[in-house]
Amino acid sequence: MDFVVKLMFTLTLALIASLSMELVVGARSDWQWSNKHNKLNLLESGDLVINLPGQPKVDFQHHAGYVTVDEKNGRALFYWFYEASTLPDEKPLVLWLNGGPGCSSVGYGATQEIGPFIVDTDGHPLKLNPYAWNTEANMLFLESPVGVGFSYSNTTTDYDNLGDDFTANDAYTFLHKWFLKFPSYRSRIFYVAGESYAGKYVPELAELILDKNKEPTLLINLKGILLGNPETCDAEDWKGLVDYAWSHAVVSDETHETIRMFCDFNSNNTWSNNDCSQAVDEVLRQYKEIDIYSLYTSVCIGNSTSSGGSEQTSLQVMFRSTSKMMPRIMGGYDPCLDEYATTYYNRPDVQKALHVSNGDHLKNWSICNMKIFDDWSDSKESVLPIYKKLIAAGLRIWVYSGDTDGRVPVLSTRYSLSSLGLPITRAWRPWYHKKQVGGWLQEYEGLTFATFRGAGHAVPIFKPSESLAFFSSFLRGESPPFKRY
C-alpha cells in the first residue's frame, strides 16, 4: 500500500513538473512572440487582422475592430491601427481623422492617402504604399462619429445629436478605452492629425484632452497637432474660397466684384442678400464643371453619374445646389479610388477580416454619409480661439495646405492664420524635398504653416514622398530643409 501511494505521488510530481515545463516553455515562447510583436495581449489579439484579402506581405501587425463608447446606447466606433513598420516600441502614436463631416478616415486617410495598403483597382487586391506614414509612427485611423463607415449606434436618437462636441467627446472616450486594449501605448507620445473638416475635429479633441489631463488618472501624452487644408474659421474660409476661385480664373471679374460688394461673411445674415447668394451660387456652378478639390486634374468618369461621395465640408449652404463632388487625384493615381474603396469594403471576406461582420450579415459601408453632412447640428464658426489655447499650452501646431485645392484653399488658411496676429519667427521661404521646391513655409511663434506646391485637398495623394518627409519633420520638431542639399 505504501509502495502504491509512493508511486502515485512520484507520478503526480512528474506530471506537475512536465506541465510546469510546458507552461514555462509556452510562456517563454509567448513572451518572445509578444515581445517581438509589441507585447500583444489578449485584448489586442482579438482585433488582430489576418487574411485580409489582397494584402501585400508586411512585417508589422495591424488591428481593426470596435470600441464601445456608450454601453447603454450601444454606440461603437470602428478603428484600424497599424504598428510602425520598424521599431514600433520607440515611435509615437498618431491618431488620424478625416472630415466631412460624415466621411471615413479608413476610406480616405488609410485607403487613399497615408495608410500602408492602397486599394488598387475595382474590387481587386491592395497594393503596398511605399510612402505610408506608419514608416514613421504607429498610425490609428478612426471612423467618427457614429454613422461614418462601420461605426454605429443601436440608439437612433444618437444620430439626431451629432455635432462637433458630440464627436469630440466620443473620440476622447474612444481613446481611453482603446488604451485599455493597447496598454503599452498608454503613455506613448501622442499626436492628432487630420484634414478638411477635421480642421475642427482635431483642435476640439486636443482642447478636450488638455482640459481632461488636469485629472491625473486620465492623462494622455498629447504633444501636438497636424492639420491639412483645414476648415478653421467660416468667414475666412468663405472669403478665401471666392478669392481663390477668382484668382485662378474659375469665375469672372463681375462675379467676384458682386461678392466683394454684397457678401459679408462675418454676418449672420450673409445668405439673406440675394445678390451675394446668387453670386456665390455662380462660383459653385463653375466648380461643378471641374474638381473643386484639385483644379488641374481630371474627374472620375465611371459607371455612375456621381463618384459615390467625397470629403465634403460642413458649410451646408455651399452644397445646396451641388451634387456629390469628385475625388482628388493627380497624375499616376486613379481618379475613381472612391468607387474602388466602396467595392472593397463591402466585400464579405473583407468585413470578416476586419471584424466588422461574420461574413454573412454585411454592413453597408459608404465612404461618406451625406445624411450626417446635411443634418450636422453643431459646428463652431471658428476654432481660432482653441488655437490660441493650444499655443499657450506649448503644443506643436503645424498647418499645411495643398495650393491647388479650391475647397479649403491656401488663401482661406492664410486669412485665418493671419487673424491670429502671431509674431513671425522665420520669414516666408521655400522648403525643399529632393532638391526641388516642395512649397513655401513660414514659422510663427507657436505655429508653423507650409504649402505644398501642386497638391490638391488631400495632399498625400498628390505629393506622397513630400508629405511623408514633411510628416517626419513634424514628428522631430525640425523645420523642413530650406536649402537645395
- How many angstroms separate the Cα of 261 from the Cα of each of 234, 240, 265? 18, 15, 11
Q: Which residue has the higher pLDDT, 121 or 341?
A: 341
Rounded to whole angstroms, the Cα distance separating 450 from 227 reads 10
- Looking only at the bridges linking them, the beta strands covering 396-402 and 222-228 are parallel
Q: Is the pLDDT of residue 311 over 50?
A: no
Tell me 193's DSSP state: E
Judge whether residue 193 has pLDDT over 70: yes
> What letter represents residue 288's amino acid?
K
Written as one letter, the residue type at 333 is Y
Dist CA 472 CA 366 (whole Å): 31
Contact present, 471 and 312 (Cβ < 8 Å): no
State the pLDDT at residue 45. Answer: 63
Question: For residues 279 and 276, what is the distance between their CA atoms, to the nearest angstrom?
Answer: 5
Residue 115 in 3-state DSSP?
A: coil
More confident site: 256 or 322:
256
3-class SS of residue 321 = coil
198 contacts 104 by C-beta, under 8 angstroms: no
Spatial distance between the Cα atoms of 135 and 142, rounded to a whole number of angstroms? 19
Kindly state the average pLDDT of the residues 316-331.
Answer: 34
What amino acid is encoded at 45 in this protein? S
Q: Output the average pLDDT for the chain.
A: 86
- pLDDT tens by residue, 75-106: 999 999 999 999 999 999 999 999 999 999 99
What is the per-residue pLDDT for 315?
33
At 238, which amino acid appears? Answer: W
Q: Does the structure show a pLDDT above 80 at 41? A: no
Task: Find all residues with CB under 8 Å of 72, minimum gap 6, and list them.
Answer: none
Name every residue whose Cβ is closer than 8 Å to that of residue 368 and which is 6 or more positions away in sequence: 100, 102, 103, 104, 107, 308, 309, 310, 311, 312, 324
First to last CA, the chain: 89
Please return the burial class of 16, using the count of CB atoms within 10 Å of its CB with bins 0-12, 13-18 and 19+.
exposed
pLDDT band at 239 (very low <50, low <70, confident <90, very high): very high
Give the Å distances, CA to CA, from 154 to 70, 80, 404: 10, 21, 41
Find, among 24, 80, 325, the residue nearest to 196 by Cα: 325
- List residues with catalytic annotation: 196, 405, 457
Question: Does the pLDDT value for residue 310 go beyond 70?
Answer: no
Section 294-321 average pLDDT: 52
Q: Which of 247, 276, 281 is nearest to 259 (CA)?
A: 276
Q: How far apart are alpha carbons 457 and 190 in whole angstroms?
A: 25
- Give 2's contacts (C-beta < 8 A, 6+ positions apart): none
pLDDT at 108 over 50: yes
Across the range 260-288, mean pLDDT stands at 93
Distance CA 373, CA 366 (A): 13
Q: β-strands 396-402, 447-452: how paired?
A: parallel
Q: What number is the average pLDDT over the span 364-380?
A: 92
**How much is the average pLDDT of 188-212?**
97
The reported pTM is 0.86
pLDDT tens digits, one per residue of 49-76: 999 999 999 999 999 999 999 999 999 9
127-136, 170-179, 301-310: which range is least confident on average? 301-310
Q: What is the pLDDT of residue 300?
A: 77
* 201-210, 211-220, 307-316: least confident range: 307-316
pLDDT at 334: 62
Q: What share of the chain is helix, strand, coil (3-state, %, to 5)?
A: 40, 20, 40
Is the pLDDT higher at 301 or at 5? 301
| Whole-number Cα distances in Å, 282 to 216, 268, 273, 288, 408 | 53, 21, 14, 10, 18
Q: Is pLDDT at 302 greater than 90 in this prediction?
A: no
More confident of the two residues 223 and 325 = 223
Is residue 183 scored above 70 in pLDDT?
yes
Q: Would the pLDDT of 406 be above 80?
A: yes
Strands 75-82, 138-143: pairing is: antiparallel
124 with 346: CB under 8 angstroms? no
- Specify the 3-state DSSP secondary structure of 245: helix
Residue 11 has pLDDT above 80, yes or no: no
